[in-house]
């Protein structure tokens, strides 16, 4: 059976022939794509996403994109910037849409529902922080290549993500509140309240504030926490006075 095995040098020889064939036969097609990339100028980031999707489909016809394109004056830096912008925007849009469509199922246990919401918030947070790390350098490059960059500002998709994070905090707090009502005086009551307050504080810092509904939900939890603390203090005082009375 060994005689049927292809030796590595033969394999690379075949691969090299396929690349050379693409270079020779696809020349006009590649030169057309070069013009498209060089002339690409957009006002809307969604058009960049569409263009990059089309470009990637066209380039997938080649046996090995990088190996073939290096034989041409391929505008690699602009093509990479277009892809980077398209993928960066698309990923943020995807997580923003995931948060917008999130629905808390009351039949699901409270702990797993809260865990889901926390994981989703962390995705939103990670997306915004990742963008902020590359934003300044990327915006300058995009301007030079006539790629929309306004979406990267705080007034762009970041503000939409922050709105979704506040809505998520509201759902989280409402879930905590309804769980507290269902398990009045339960052993996990205090921990659940603290969890709600911690999550709300984290989202508040991230989003830079709350809307009216979320603030009301937060106040509700705070009032319950204060009432619980007062109850504990009263019980402690009663215990102390009983102990003092016995002595």
Q: Which residue stretches of the chain have pLDDT < 50? A: 1-7, 9-11
Confidence at residue 217, expressed as pLDDT on a 0 to 100 scale: 87
Q: CB within 8 A of 134, min separation 6: which ones? A: 88
**Residue 5 confidence (pLDDT):** 42
Tokens 């590595």 correspond to what residue? Answer: 8
Is-contact 147 42, C-beta < 8 A?
A: yes
Domain boundaries, the chain: 108-246
The pTM score is 0.80
Tokens matching residue 231:
């109850």
- The residues, any chain, with a CB within 8 Å of residue 81's CB and separated by 6 or more, are 141, 142, 145, 147
């Amino acid at each position: 059976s060994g005689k049927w095995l292809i030796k590595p040098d033969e394999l690379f020889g075949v691969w090299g022939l396929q690349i050379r064939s693409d270079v020779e036969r696809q020349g006009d097609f590649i030169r057309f794509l070069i013009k498209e990339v060089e002339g690409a100028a957009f006002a809307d980031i969604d058009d960049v996403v569409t263009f990059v999707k089309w470009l990637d489909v066209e380039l997938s016809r080649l046996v090995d994109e990088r190996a073939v394109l290096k034989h041409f004056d391929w505008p690699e830096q602009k093509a990479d910037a277009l892809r980077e912008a398209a993928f960066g925007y698309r990923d943020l849009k995807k997580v923003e849409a995931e948060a917008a469509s999130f629905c808390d199922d009351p039949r699901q246990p409270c702990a797993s529902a809260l865990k889901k919401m926390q994981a989703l918030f962390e995705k939103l947070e990670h997306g915004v922080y990742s963008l902020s790390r590359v934003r300044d350098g990327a915006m300058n490059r995009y301007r030079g290549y006539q790629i929309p960059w306004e979406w990267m500002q705080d007034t762009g998709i970041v503000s939409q993500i922050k709105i979704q994070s506040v809505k998520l905090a509201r759902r989280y707090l409402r879930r905590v509140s309804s769980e507290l009502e269902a398990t009045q005086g339960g052993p996990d009551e205090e921990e659940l309240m603290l969890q709600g307050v911690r999550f709300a504080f984290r989202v508040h810092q991230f989003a830079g504030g709350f809307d009216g509904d979320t603030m009301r939900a937060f106040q509700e939890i705070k009032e319950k926490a204060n009432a619980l603390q007062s109850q504990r203090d009263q019980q402690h005082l009663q215990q102390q006075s009983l102990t003092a009375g016995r002595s």
